[in-house]
Amino acid sequence: MTDMTPRRKRFPIIRRILRNWRLRHQDPRNFAIHMIGIPLAVAGVLSLFFVPWYWGVAAIMIGYLLQWIGHCWEGNDVGEWAGIKRLLGLPTVAISPRFAQPAEKSPLASD
C-alpha cells in the first residue's frame, strides 16, 4: 500500500522551522553569509574529532562570526542570543523591522 499523504502534511514541524528561519534571514547578504557560516561551524564541530582542537575551534568561531555579521546587516538578533535574551526577560528583535509586515487594521477599529 502506498502512502497517499501529501508532502506538506508529512513534516509540518520541519516546514514551520524552515519558514520561521527564512523569515529571520530575508536580507540576501545575511542569507548568503549563513550558507557559508553554518556549514563552517558544523565542520568545525566535526573536525574536533579528527584534527588538532584549535582548527575546530577556529572554524566554529569564524562560522559564528560570519552569522553574527549577517544579523548585523539584517538588523535582528542572532538566534542563540535571542533565546538567552528571552530567558532573561530582555527585549528581542526576531524579524528585522524593515522586513516586518505591518499589522493589518482590525475591522473593529474605528477610523
Asked whether residue 32 is domain-assigned, the answer is yes
Q: Which residues contact 66 (CB under 8 A, 6 or more apart)?
A: 33, 34, 36, 37, 40
Q: Please give the angle made by the CA atoms of 22, 23 and 26, to the nearest 5 degrees.
A: 80
For 42, the domain range is 27-87
111 residues of the chain, pLDDT tens digit each: 455 555 567 778 899 988 888 888 889 999 999 999 999 999 999 999 999 999 999 999 999 999 999 999 988 888 888 888 889 998 888 888 878 776 565 555 554
Asked whether residue 64 is domain-assigned, the answer is yes
Asked whether residue 22 is domain-assigned, the answer is no
Asked whether residue 36 is domain-assigned, the answer is yes
Domain count, the chain: 1
